[in-house]
Amino acid sequence: MLSSHAEAVFEVVEIVPYQPTWPIQFQAVAYRLRQALGDLAIRIDHIGSTAVPGLAAKDVIDIQVTAAALDERVRSAVTSLGYIQLEGRSDHRPPNSSAPESEWAKWLFIQPPGVRQTHVHVRIQGRPNQRYAILFRDFLRDHPATAQAYAELKRRLALHLRDPEEYPEVKDPAVDLIYLAAEEWAASAGWQPGPSDG
Q: At residue 146, does pLDDT exceed 90?
A: yes
- What is the rounded CA–CA span in Å between residue 106 and residue 62? 14
Domains of the chain: 4-188 (3.30.460.10)
Backbone angles phi, psi at 131, to 5 degrees: -70, -40
Q: Tell me the pLDDT band of 11, cut-offs 50, 70 and 90.
A: low
Q: How distant, in Å, are the alpha carbons of 24, 94, 97, 170, 177 from that of 54?
A: 15, 26, 30, 23, 21
pTM of the model: 0.90
pLDDT at 169: 78
Percent of the chain with pLDDT over 90: 73
63-80 pLDDT, tens digit each: 999 999 999 999 999 999
- What is the rounded CA–CA span in Å between residue 163 and residue 29? 29
Q: At residue 188, does pLDDT exceed 60?
A: yes
Q: At residue 162, does pLDDT exceed 80?
A: no
13-48 pLDDT, tens digit each: 889 999 999 999 999 999 999 999 999 999 999 999
> Residues 82-109: what's their mean pLDDT?
90
Measured at the CA of 65, the angle between CA 60 and CA 69, to 5 degrees, comes to: 140
